[in-house]
A = this chain, B = another copy of it.
């Protein structure tokens, strides 16, 4: 049975302040927890129903962390999901990665004030799919250890190196000649743009776009062209969702550069 202290501790991890204090975060759901258990992250506790335990006990074999059986009712008390899902784990926050110069040899994703947890998680999941290892978040991005971000990232949070620093600082560190691609509503269309194999791709805030101070630093503004039927060319969505724009540009970059690896 869950102790009051355990419930209190777990619930505190729904708040950023306490995640930082305890250097721990929550991972929920079958898929995310099983990804956690095979990742390089350290699991410190698993709270699961008997039925989950029955199916996944092989993954729990090493005895390095607490495993506690809970009822579905108890799970409701600690879950951050509307529909709790068999299992909740506590993981230790990894050490923040060092911003080494070698990260500039590949595409780096730079997120400028991404605020929506669903978007953030989806962006990390997409980066993972397209083999983008380093993601740099501006300090005003949503916390990547927010439960909804972890959930939407579907396990990718254990594989991506997520840095947090002012983006202007990242840009100032880059080797000469590293292009800075900015996803904008004007610029060269990504269908004609020739992307290099390295560079920094900036994705802007959901409603404000890329911040004013960064705009002059963009060397290569790029643009996802809408498709216009002649009869309704004046009417279409004004922009794309940030995680969608990110996905399309990452796809195009990898397609251009990686045909042989696709």
Contacts and interface: CB of A to CB of B under 8 A. Distances in A.
Interface size band for A = 35 or more
Interface string A241-258: 101100110011011001
Interface string A225-249: 1111100100111111101100110
Nearest to A126: B244
A153 to B, nearest CB: 8
Contacts of A57: none
B189 A262 contact: yes
Nearest to A39: B235
Interface string A174-217: 00000000000000010100000000000000010000000000
A110 interface: no
Contact of A236 (B128, B232, B240, B241): B128
The quantity of this chain's copies bound in the complex is: 2
Contact of A129 (B129, B155, B240, B247): B240
Given A224-B251, A226-B131, A248-B248, A241 B243 contact: yes
B130 A227 contact: yes
Contacts of A255: 191
Given A238-B154, A244-B244, A248-B248, A227 B189 contact: no
8 contacts: A126-B244, A129-B226, A131-B232, A154-B237, A224-B251, A227-B254, A244-B244, A247-B248
Interface of A: 31, 118, 122, 125-126, 128-133, 152, 154-156, 159, 189, 191, 207, 224-229, 232, 235-241, 243-244, 247-248, 251-252, 254-255, 258-259, 261-262
